[in-house]
Amino acid sequence: MRYIVGVDVGGTNLVVGTVPEDGSSLYGYQMEPTDVAGGPDGAVKQIERLVTVSLSQARAELGADIDIAGIGIGAPGPLDTHSGTVLLTPNLGWTDMPLRDRVSSALGLPATLDNDANCAVLGEWWRGAAQGGKIVLGLTIGTGIGGGIVLDGKIFHGASDVAGEFGHASIDQSGRKCNCGNYGCLEAYAAGPAIARRALEGIEAGADSVLPQYVNGALDRLTAKTVSEAARDGDAFCLEVIRETAHILGGAIANLVNILNPDVVVICGGVTAAGSHLFDPMCNEVRQRAFRPGVRACRIVPGSLPGTAGVYGAAASYMAQAWGTD
Amino acid sequence: MRYIVGVDVGGTNLVVGTVPEDGSSLYGYQMEPTDVAGGPDGAVKQIERLVTVSLSQARAELGADIDIAGIGIGAPGPLDTHSGTVLLTPNLGWTDMPLRDRVSSALGLPATLDNDANCAVLGEWWRGAAQGGKIVLGLTIGTGIGGGIVLDGKIFHGASDVAGEFGHASIDQSGRKCNCGNYGCLEAYAAGPAIARRALEGIEAGADSVLPQYVNGALDRLTAKTVSEAARDGDAFCLEVIRETAHILGGAIANLVNILNPDVVVICGGVTAAGSHLFDPMCNEVRQRAFRPGVRACRIVPGSLPGTAGVYGAAASYMAQAWGTD
């Protein structure tokens, strides 16, 4: 059995774990806030440290002589998988950062790089909620909205590693200007901050809600997750915010059904904490908008590996790139 | 050398031709208005007749003993390629029509069925403007807007033959209601009738334009093609109608670039007669909206096989289904 270290570099958290090639478990799980202030050097040092800790924990559990094949890294894009370079990450402030080779040098192990959302979707296909899917689309809803396409168990990268940027498909051509330069991007309406902002606006306008109690009155700490939790606990105002989000997401997913006709759509991120309050109206919106044979063929599910899908997927991406035909 | 008869069943025209397996030519080209009034029986009879004529012309040219392998049919969807059934075609009024087997029985030859837009895009990949593309997306702009995805030379059907319905991806979630049940579908803004309607509205509102001369004053005969031709000839009003269309299409193509990151997008249909008046602002819109690595990787081209892409593609689809691994 060979082992791969999966590294999930997020704008918020850095997550690392050691995964056997059969994906049966995850050893030496590590999570820390990403060292953003330290720039590329800080991040590489932090990755080096967490990988070292993860490996030593894995060795303590499995034996000192386990076969470590390499390191699979998932990072925010746009990036170039061939050169292993992160081209630009607004959240981390990196430009043309040769992350793959820097991590590989620091740890003396071969490494691969892929988009973080691609990795999360691949992880859900490999070990999570999208198992068995042949045409799997995933949305990762967090600070932004990432996405990934997994066809027959392989990440579909497109011609230049851009494929799957579902958060930057417009849902209204003359809509809200997005950071990316486009107008009306899904991300501008349904990412975590947009959900929190809609809730905050409602609270400030006097909505009757228990939501402030979830953040001890510190409204600037509202997140999509707190809104989702309050909705799940029955708060009517938060339920409405979630329902609005569900309609927006459902419309976007309907487009993906008509464009790609997937058999699985997996939704990842804190917003899935809202459970059926999100999924019921969302799936209903998809049913009303998309072609019937497309709706019938597709199951829409929440991710089942919160916090670890990206690590599993980064390890799987390593195997595909280093051992496979990718 | 084996030969395949390609049949392109459109809501307006029925086109038939006999194609050698290397795609080097097209023999016995036939085109007639589709017999819509005659229902399924009328259409099958018409296909039988045109295929027979096409084959006898091909035999006259190539010899009586040429090897006819079968018939590839492209038809409007939604349809089921496995059973060879057209599920529903609003334009032709068919429901659950076993087109493949009826044509096969009528002519005593094996047959296959695929979506007409899929076939057109496959034809452009095989013999037309999309040659060499690995990730090819096509839009067929006519009475509706069809689409197709060709990956590594194979039609990507999706889980239930719905993939590639780009005309029914919404560009405005709260926009115009579409016949399909969705709101704001691209088809409702940029298909031929929508272009003609915008032109007609402008003329009726007193726009200064030579357009009426193109239809001898019969404004009800305005089509996207006449608008495109007048624009190409320099009519300022029609140029503006085309520019508007270009912005809408460009926004939709930008979404496809961010979702699928193609290396070729091919645009088919009469509207391409507008040439650079359409393509320049359209490509500019894509550049402004889509991710840069996606824009750089993608060429956007007009189809080069007007009237025959669907026939070539139907023949190629036959080979893929009957001889290949599809």
* pLDDT single digits (tens) B168-195: 999 999 999 998 899 999 999 999 999 9
Asked whether the beta carbons of residue B298 and residue A159 sit closer than 8 angstroms, the reply is yes
Q: Could you tell me which residues come within 8 angstroms of residue A145 by beta carbon, excluding any fewer than 6 positions away?
A: A139, A166, A167, A186, A187, A190, A191
Nearest CA in chain B to A134: B159
Q: Which of A181, A263, A294 sits opposite B288 (nearest CB)?
A: A181
The domains of chain B are located at 2-122+307-322, 132-302
Tell me what percent of the residues of chain A surpass a pLDDT of 90: 92
CA nearest neighbour of B289 among A180, A310, A233, A244: A180
**CATH number of the A132-302 domain:** 3.30.420.40
8 A C-beta contact, residue B303 and residue B138: yes
Cα–Cα distances in Å, from B183 out to A281, B76, B179?
17, 21, 9
Q: What pLDDT shows up at residue B98?
A: 98
B165 contacts in chain A (CB < 8 Å): 258-259, 291, 294
Tell me what percent of the residues of chain B surpass a pLDDT of 90: 92
A174 contacts in chain B (CB < 8 Å): 172
Nearest CA in chain B to A79: B293
Q: What pLDDT shows up at residue A40?
A: 95
Q: Work out the end-to-end distance of chain B between its first and last CA atoms, rounded to an integer number of angstroms.
A: 22
Beta strands in chain A (DSSP E): 2-9, 13-20, 27-33, 67-75, 79-80, 85-89, 94-97, 111-115, 135-141, 145-151, 154-155, 264-268, 299-302
Sheet order of strands, A67-75 included? A27-33, A13-20, A2-9, A67-75, A111-115
Amino acid at residue number A209: S
Q: What pLDDT shows up at residue B326?
A: 53
CA nearest neighbour of A15 among A325, A310, A324, A313: A310
Q: What pLDDT shows up at residue A326?
A: 53
DSSP state of A178: P
Q: How many helices (H) and strands (E) does chain B have?
A: 11, 13
What string of pLDDT tens digits covers the 326 residues of chain B?
Answer: 999 999 999 988 999 999 999 999 999 999 999 999 999 999 999 999 999 999 999 999 999 999 999 999 999 989 999 999 999 887 788 999 999 999 999 999 999 999 999 999 999 999 999 999 999 999 999 989 999 999 999 999 999 999 999 999 999 999 999 988 999 999 999 999 999 999 999 999 999 999 999 999 999 999 998 999 999 999 999 999 999 999 999 999 999 999 999 999 999 998 898 899 999 999 999 999 999 999 999 999 999 999 999 999 999 999 999 998 55
Structure-token match 């109608």, residue found = B241
Q: Could you tell me which residues come within 8 angstroms of residue B11 by beta carbon, excluding any fewer than 6 positions away?
A: B34, B36, B76, B89, B91, B92, B143, B144
Tell me what percent of the residues of chain A surpass a pLDDT of 70: 99
Q: What pLDDT shows up at residue B179?
A: 84
pLDDT digits (tens, 9 = 90+) for B89-121: 877 889 999 999 999 999 999 999 999 999 999
The CATH class that applies to domain A2-122+307-322 reads alpha beta
pLDDT digits (tens, 9 = 90+) for A243-254: 999 999 999 999
Q: What pLDDT shows up at residue B268?
A: 96
**B162: contact with A, CB 8 A cutoff:** yes
What is the radius of gyration, based on Cα positions, of chain B? 20
Which helix (H) or strand (E) segment is A232 a member of? helix A224-232
Top residue of B255, B282, B295, B299 to mutate, by most chain A CBs within 10 Å, is B255
8 A C-beta contact, residue B302 and residue B140: no
pLDDT digits (tens, 9 = 90+) for A80-130: 999 999 998 877 889 999 999 999 999 999 999 999 999 999 999 999 999
Please give the Cα distance from A132 to A136 (Å, whole number): 9
**A198: contact with B, CB 8 A cutoff:** no
Asked whether the beta carbons of residue B258 and residue A165 sit closer than 8 angstroms, the reply is yes
Cα–Cα distances in Å, from A98 out to A82, A111, B10?
11, 11, 51
DSSP 3-state of B25? coil
Q: What pLDDT shows up at residue B325?
A: 57
> For residue A325, is pLDDT > 60?
no
Residue A73, sorted as left (phi over 0), alpha (psi -120 to 50) or beta, turns out to be beta
Structure-token match 């309406």, residue found = A189
**B132: contact with A, CB 8 A cutoff:** no
Q: Which of B170, B247, B288 sits opposite A171 (nearest CB)?
A: B170
